[in-house]
């Protein structure tokens, strides 16, 4: 997958907070605080909150359900033509929230790597 020439970078405090939140949700541990975090993120409201956070960082979100294959979430740089080659992060998962969280995490991690 090709990344756009100049994808946005995570530069503000809220963008970094979103990245840390998505990283915490990936931790494989049975801790009450992680349970609370996941109970919020693993909902349609959580998808909307991640989408709004990513929009603030300069990304558009596309979420598609495919019958037997699950869900695909894709983030594109805002304002670019949305085609497979312009995607900055995409993920296939069995649930829409997991697809959105993982695609957002991939996108923000890639932006952080470009920033450094």
Q: What is the pLDDT of residue 44?
A: 96
The dihedral built from the CA positions of residue 73, 77, 78 and 81, taken in this order, carries a sign that is negative
- Would 44 be classed as within a structural domain? yes
More confident: 17 or 2: 17
* 5, part of any domain: no
* pLDDT bucket at 27, cuts 50 / 70 / 90: very high
Q: What's the confidence (pLDDT) of residue 3?
A: 44
What mean pLDDT comes out for the span 63-68?
Answer: 92
79: containing domain? 13-115
pLDDT value at residue 1: 40
pLDDT in the model for residue 4: 45
Domain count, the chain: 1
Residue 65 scores a pLDDT above 60 = yes
Residues 6+ apart with CB under 8 A from 57: 8, 10, 12, 15, 18, 108, 111
- 67 or 82, which is more confident? 67
């Amino acid at each position: 997958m090709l990344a756009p020439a100049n994808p946005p970078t995570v530069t503000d405090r809220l963008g970094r907070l979103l990245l840390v939140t998505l990283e915490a949700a990936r931790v494989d541990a049975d801790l009450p605080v992680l349970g609370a975090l996941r109970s919020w993120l693993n909902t349609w409201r959580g998808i909307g909150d991640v989408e709004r956070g990513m929009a603030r960082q300069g990304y558009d979100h596309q979420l598609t359900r495919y019958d037997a294959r699950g869900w695909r979430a894709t983030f594109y740089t805002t304002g670019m033509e949305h085609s497979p080659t312009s995607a900055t992060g995409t993920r296939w998962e069995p649930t829409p929230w997991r697809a959105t969280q993982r695609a957002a995490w991939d996108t923000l991690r890639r932006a952080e790597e470009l920033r450094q």
